[in-house]
């Protein structure tokens, strides 16, 4: 009986260490994406764009894939952790919320959050909007340079609208 308890404890420890490891790896890759591959004005003058930037031989896209893989590994081990502790979680949940109405509301909120945050992104498609031909002339580099406008902001006198050249932002 004691060896069975020690084996279960060892399994819990391995699962918890795995969760901690993959969480740290995911956060580390996310921080690299956020702070190493960020395009600042100083980096823009040196490199132009970050399209060819590399860290440890990998591009921003590669680091994004690694970040995603570490996150999936963390979520998988987290699900295993929940399965291993399911009886304890159910017992604590029932003791903490004695009212059936309270338990139903909390479970309903979790189901709604799950559907919105986990299933929802698979059901949503971004709307794409093309520029009208009228505005395309204003976004060329020659128009921006001819007005001596370093920020790429132009006034469309025909439509009385402020136009921002987003080609130079990223």
Per-residue pLDDT tens for 96-127? 888 889 899 999 999 999 888 888 888 877 76
- pTM value is 0.60
> From the centroid of its chain, how far is CA 65?
11
- Burial 42-54, CB ≥16 within 10 A → b, else e: eeeeeeeebeeee
SS3 (DSSP) at 58 = strand
Tell me the pLDDT tens digit for each residue of 49-71.
Answer: 655 677 787 878 888 899 999 99
How far, in Å, are 21, 40, 74 from residue 49 at the CA level?
Answer: 33, 10, 32
């Amino acid at each position: 009986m004691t060896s069975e308890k020690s084996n279960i404890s060892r399994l819990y420890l391995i699962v918890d260490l795995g969760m901690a490891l993959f969480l740290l790896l995911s956060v580390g890759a996310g921080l690299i994406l956020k702070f190493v591959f960020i395009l600042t004005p100083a980096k823009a003058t040196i490199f132009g764009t970050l399209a060819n930037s590399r860290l440890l031989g990998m591009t921003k896209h590669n680091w994004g894939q690694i970040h995603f893989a570490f996150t999936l590994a963390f979520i998988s081990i987290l699900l295993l952790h929940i399965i291993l502790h399911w009886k304890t979680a159910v017992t604590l949940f029932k003791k903490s919320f004695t009212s059936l109405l309270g338990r139903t509301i909390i479970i309903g909120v979790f189901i709604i959050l799950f559907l919105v945050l986990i299933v929802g992104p698979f059901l949503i498609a971004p709307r794409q909007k093309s520029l009208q031909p009228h505005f395309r002339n204003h976004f060329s580099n020659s128009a921006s340079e001819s007005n001596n406008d370093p920020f790429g902001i132009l006034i469309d006198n025909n439509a009385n609208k402020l136009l921002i050249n987003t080609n130079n932002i990223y």
